[in-house]
Chain A
Amino acid sequence: MTKKRIQLEQITGRLSRRAMLGGAATAVVALVQTASGKTIQQGVSISELLPDDPTKQIGTLAGEVGTRSAFEKVVKKPSDISSRSPLQDFYGIITPSDLHFERHHAGVPAIDPAKHELLIHGLVDKPLVFTVEDLKRFPSVSRIAFLECSGNFRSGKETMSPQDICGLTSQSEWTGVKLSTLFREAGVKSNATWFLAEGSDAAVMTRSIPVKKGWDDAIVAYAQNGEALRPEQGYPVRLFLPGWEGNTSVKWLRRIELSDQPFMTREETSKYTEPIKGAEPVRRSDGPGKYRQFSFDIDARSIITFPAYPKTVEKGWIEIRGIAWSGRGKVARVEVSTDAGKSWQLATLQEPILDKAHTAFRYVWNWNGVETEILSRVTDETGYLQPTLNQLFAARGDTISYHFNPITAWRIKSDGSVLFKPEP
């Protein structure tokens, strides 16, 4: 566990030195007073911090920053290139900023906000440079929306949690300046059809974006959930494109270049392109087919996050819970099946149901204790119904690639254990 310093003056006096050196695992680092009266940092276990009766002892004093309860072990799952959000541990629709998924191509850069600048140039009347402070002076906008990596699908074994299967999606309230405001400021020329967004990380990440998206709803964001962006999310400035595949929302944004054609960067040619049904054979093993490029919209998706592996359930009333979202608008409805997809019932949607946003759903179910499968499927306001994995294979060939959003099934076994059911 990462050591966190929390102020505990009020109770440290009562912690005996012996207790602090005791065998219990270190839970937190507290400021403690030694026998000689010196204040030092020391690891203490949860049980040592717990009074027998919290009403009989003054608690911790007010601190500079809040901390997560030492009893809550919610963590992302990192790999070399990404880190997945623990969807099964969340309540509601806002992802705590420190648990927002991460995906970067050459690590998280350390950037001094006082030195960071955003250049906008190319097909504009006036090429301009903005400091972060300049950007904050413009009229601001906030919106709650999801951000999902288009490579957000894992499968293959039963012991997978929602985090393992699709933890590369998160939701925040993003605040910044509309890109259209900056477009007007610089005077984007009428022949500009694309723009390049470039990051200030070691990958110097670049994507080409249609200018229309810039006029429509793109945000140059400097804040997330009420505070400055987290470094992992692009501090001090990122692009945010609601509803579009995460890679296009370029982080650590340093440059925007207006152009009359796409730049064909590596991330929109070699990567973030996927096989589709084309003129040539669909089955990739027979040779190359066609590949789809500039697949920006995130197709609608839902997943039950409770009950789900590794949690277990008991016979009786169970509130099935999950999230649903679409990159093309609002969630119109979510259906839940508790009989392996034979029949479907409408789930209750929790307000607010926002455009291009994770929407919470729930369905109360009385489980009779007999083994079954539970599933959810979303329909968005365009009428798109979340497909099965086999429908995706039929449409795109037998390779799992970007933009895979299949229905997720959970097996509830009679002993109450819950297992992911990968489609064959």
Chain B
Amino acid sequence: MNLYSLWLPGAFLLVMLTSRFQTIGEDRRTSPIAKVDTLPTHFGFGRPATAAEIARLDIDVRPDGKGLPAGEGQVLTGKQIFAAKCAACHGTGGVDGPNGSLVTTTNPGRKRPEKTIGNYWPYATTVFDYIRRAMPFSQPGSLTNDEVYHLTAYLLQANGIIDEKTVINAQTLPRVVMPAQKLFVPDDRKGGSEIK
């Protein structure tokens, strides 16, 4: 499997450099006798995507800030929007709502702390990306970019990550270091005898 996946991109380059029609041994991995199919690299199906249609759909935001739109957010404005559009489901101040807390509290009554933005989210950009794509749950996709920036600023401040004066925009958001980032490690399970 490893060999196959290393081999394919290589084959692809080769195909690009030589001819339009190149033999690709699709079934070499499984078949003992190499089956030789003559498959074109390009079938010519589909149509080129225009820059405008990519921009309309390309709403994701990466940790390095790629994808963040123009605009900016203030903590206090975010607080007001949150009370109006989010608190019914996520609680006053983002604590103990019917759909889960978004703000970390040190509630000694709980066996373990609830996972929230403050103690569990490794990247601040995810806050912007997720609210813009999926919230409010009852009206997804209804917020303006500025509203999302305001809400992001408020939720970061309420979680004690930024102060009340910090303005959140495409430059400042990727620079916010989240307390939980150091908690995450990549999966290292590989099968075999060890239970991980």
Contacts and interface: CB of A to CB of B under 8 A. Distances in A.
B85 interface: no
Given A128-B49, A294-B187, A265 B129 contact: yes
B195 A391 contact: yes
Contacts of B196: 276-277, 395-396
Given A119-B57, A383-B191, A399 B112 contact: yes
B1 A216 contact: yes
Interface residues of B, number: 60
A263 B126 CA distance: 8
A387 interface: yes
Nearest to B64: A261
Interface in B63-104: 63-64
B184 A291 contact: yes
A120 B45 CA distance: 13
A185 B20 CA distance: 12
B112 A284 contact: yes
A294 B58 contact: no
A69 interface: no
A328 B9 CA distance: 23
Nearest to B137: A106
B13 interface: yes
Interface in B103-138: 111-112, 115, 117, 119-123, 125-126, 129-130, 133-134, 137
Contacts of B47: 128-129
A196 interface: yes
Contacts of A254: 57
Contacts of A129: 46-49, 53
A138 B184 CA distance: 40
B60 interface: yes
B33 interface: no
Given A265-B129, A270-B120, 15 more contacts: A105-B134, A129-B49, A134-B46, A138-B43, A139-B39, A185-B41, A190-B13, A202-B140, A203-B140, A204-B134, A206-B129, A264-B62, A278-B185, A284-B112, A294-B186
Interface of B: 1, 4-5, 8-9, 12-13, 15-16, 39, 41-43, 45-49, 53-54, 57-64, 111-112, 115, 117, 119-123, 125-126, 129-130, 133-134, 137, 140-141, 180, 183-193, 195-196
